[in-house]
Amino acid sequence: MKNWTAVVLAAGRGTRMESDLPKVLHDLKGKPLIYYVLKELVSLKRYIRQIIVVVGYQGCFVEESIKKHFKDIGFAYQKKKLGTADAVRCVQKKVKHQNVLVLCGDAPLITKKTLSSFIAFSLRKKFLCSLISAEVNERNSLGRIIRDREGRIKAICEKGEPAKGFLSNEVNSGIYAFDRGILFNNLKKIKKNKKKGEYFLTDIVEILYEAGYSTGSFISESSEEILGINTLEDLCRVENIMRMRILDGLMAEGVRIVDSSTTFIEHGVKIGKGTLIYPFTFIEKDVIIGGNCFLGPFIHLRSGSRIKNSTCLGNFVEVNRSVVGPRVKMKHFGYLGDTTVESDVNVGAGVVVANFDGKSKNKTYIRKNAFIGSDTVLVAPVKVGKGAVTGAGSVVTKDVRAKEVVAGVPARPLKKSKVKNQNAKVQFKIQKFEKI
């Protein structure tokens, strides 16, 4: 199998994004845009042997961000903003393989399946240059494919440029496959665009056509896959598509989602089979949730949290950097931050963990079978022992021993006589909770 070098163009600032952040680092469901492109390339081990990212605007920042997610990625720097053709020229001395795949770092919807099929198509047809195209119903920012009378690709007409022939609804994805020699020998023939002062890689198609070479066109089954991001409106559109991909994947694995239009789950979230998710649930990246849980409506699970099997987190609950054990019930209003909750704990309505003292975030530990009464405030750092009970409205500032009952502001242990008189009532509550 022939080896390939993949070149990812990521040097642009993205001025239409109206942001100082490099375009390829804008967030999409918990990951930067370029992450999704590189993830698909890394998975194509059958073909891709080398990956080079061309960076420019805030290049060091972009490089550092990519290295947090991927190893063995090469980088080339485009010192001046001179267009896509100049960006490809920057990698000429670094390319190791005869076959070169060129992609844009701002098109995160492209899939391994499409890239693999495109590479196989290019090898099978033996084109020295080929591209991925798609049929669209509406005009967008992608360049239009122009063909001659025999159906051969003649040129690519970028948006805003004068047409050099009949403009069809076939658009260029910006993804190309080249023979290395053909690519770099013809890059130097590209002339600077007078209007924008840049060298466009798309011009190489017309140069090759005039030299007698044919450019192959692999038509993608989905026009969504080739969507690029140039504006915040584009990002919003792509975000919705990516969100549905994530939800479809979870539902295929046995997760029940009541309303996909109001459920927001980021990339990298893992959810066990049998879990039921109600509307307006927000789950951030890298959250892990067990099976047979009940989540929502209106909850927010923050990055890094862990929810164990058969746990119920109900209306208006937020969990942040916390571990919630199996069979925990927290059904109404509450906040857990930097908290570890062991198994079979009941957390009443309105319970808040006050984890921030103005300088640092502090830890809270709630041991198994504890009963946290409604409107309890746990002022971290604090520990609630196994089987302990806090009365409604308690402000807990000190550790609570196992099976101890505390109440008040600040919370204090109840005297044995009071505990004895209230024991039946407390036990009734606990037994009732266990039957739910």
- Full 3-state SS string of 163-210: CCCCCCCEEEEEEEEEEHHHHHHHHCCCCCCCCCCCCCCCHHHHHHHH
Q: 170-179 and 382-384: which strand pairing? A: unpaired
List, as one string, the DSSP characters of 291-360: SS-EE-SSEEE-TT-EE-TT-EEEEEEEEES-EE-TT-EEEEEEEEESEEE-TT-EE-TTEEEE-B-SS-
Under 8 Å CB-to-CB from 148, ≥6 apart: which residues? 154, 165, 209
Q: Annotated catalytic sites, by residue?
A: 332
b/e burial code for range 211-237 (CB count within 10 A of at least 16 → b): eebebbbbebeebbbbbbbbeeebbee
Find where tokens 């005297």 sit: 415
Helix (H) or strand (E) holding 43: helix 33-43
Return d(Cα 111, Cα 224) in angstroms, integer: 11
Q: For 89, which DSSP code? A: H
The backbone torsions φ and ψ at residue 378, rounded to the nearest 5 degrees and listed phi first, read: -100, 110
**Nearest Cα residue to 287 out of 263, 323, 314, 312:** 323
The token pair at 384 is 């609630």
Return d(Cα 434, Cα 8) in angstroms, integer: 56
SS3 content of the chain, % helix, strand, coil (to 5): 25, 30, 45
Return d(Cα 202, Cα 176) in angstroms, integer: 10
Q: For 223, which DSSP code? A: G
As a whole number of angstroms, the longest Cα–Cα distance in the chain is 99
List C-alpha distances in Å: 255 to 144, 258, 279, 352. 41, 10, 14, 29
- Residue type for position 189: K
Cα–chain-centroid distance for residue 201? Answer: 29
The backbone torsions φ and ψ at residue 116, rounded to the nearest 5 degrees and listed phi first, read: -65, -45
